[in-house]
Amino acid sequence: MPVQVIYITAAMLFVAVLPLPDDFYSMLRIVAAGTFAWGAYRNFGKKLFLLPLAYTMLAIIFNPVMEINLAKVIAIPIDLLAAALLLSTKKHFAE
C-alpha cells in the first residue's frame, strides 16, 4: 500500500475530531476500515502478534457495513490513537 494512503487516512482521522457532516464520517469509515484491514492482512504472516490484532480491532470498529456507533467522547480518543498508530507503524504496511 502506498504510504500516501496511510498519510491520507491518518489526516482524516485527525480531522475527525472536528464537528463535520455525517458524509465525512461515512467516508472515513470506508477508508479507515480498508486501510486497517490491509494492514492486518499484511502483518498476520509475520512474527508480530499485537500489531495485526490491533489493526483487526480497528478495522472492526471502523467497519462501514455493521456500524458501531460510539459517543463522541469515546470516538475522539479512538480516532487520535488510530491515527498515531498508523503513523508510527507505517513501515509495516510497505514491506
Please report, in tens digits, the pLDDT of each residue of the chain (95 residues total): 788 999 999 999 999 999 999 999 999 999 999 999 999 998 888 877 899 999 999 999 999 999 888 888 999 999 999 999 999 998 887 65
d(CA 54, CA 65): 19
Per-residue model confidence (pLDDT) at position 90: 87
Which residues lie closer than 8 Å to 79 by C-beta, 6 or more apart? 13, 14, 16, 17
φ, ψ for residue 49, nearest 5 deg: -110, -45
